[in-house]
Amino acid sequence: MNLKKIGVINSPYKTRAKAPFQGRHSSEICEVEIFEDFLPGLADVEGCTHLILLYWLDRADRSMLKAFPPHDGKEHGVFATRSPNRPNPIGVGVVELLAVEGERLKVRGLDALDDSPLIDIKPYFPEVDSTSNATVGWRK
């Protein structure tokens, strides 16, 4: 299972210390550049208000199976956390699509580090991708 780099993310976050814990809490605009070979795949993307971006967390430690997330500071298995350090460090970001300018997408709500490899773009559909249910989250 080999991934192809389909583009690159330009973000204001140069290091993890400067990135927000979650992009949804940020109003910064990021620019996503899609490489020429993959441009035909962008047709009609401008019709989407929101996208799911998959990107490679290239500065992550893939050997980690435990993490200390910020919300409680306790040790958890990585699969119960959103830590970037995990066996397959793929970031999933739900972003607002502001503009498509040729091979560049302007998006808001991303916490990717600058120069992260882009892996995939999908339209975000609330009826498929969201669960608006008061009982969702951590079990009480």
- Contacting residues toward its own copies, per CB under 8 A: 1-6, 22, 24, 34, 38, 40-50, 52, 54, 56, 62, 65-66, 75-82, 86-88, 90, 92, 94, 96, 117, 119-133, 135-139
Nearer to its own copies by C-beta: 15 or 135?
A: 135
Dihedral angle, C-alpha 51, 77, 57, 107, nearest 10 °? 20
Nearer to its own copies by C-beta: 48 or 114?
A: 48
CB of 37 to its own copies, least distance (A): 9
Identify the CA nearest to 95 among candidates 34, 15, 9, 14. Answer: 9
CB of 11 to its own copies, least distance (A): 17
CB of 5 to its own copies, least distance (A): 7
Alpha-carbon distance 140 to 135, whole Å?
Answer: 9
CB of 83 to its own copies, least distance (A): 9
Alpha-carbon distance 99 to 95, whole Å?
Answer: 12
Cα of 27 vs its chain's centroid, Å: 15
Neighbour-count burial of 86, counting CB atoms closer than 10 A to its CB (0-12 exposed, 13-18 middle, 19+ buried): buried
Nearer to its own copies by C-beta: 16 or 126?
A: 126
Nearer to its own copies by C-beta: 15 or 139?
A: 139
- The encoded tokens of residue 45 equal 């993307």
Nearer to its own copies by C-beta: 12 or 42?
A: 42
H/E segment holding residue 129 = helix 126-129
CB of 17 to its own copies, least distance (A): 20
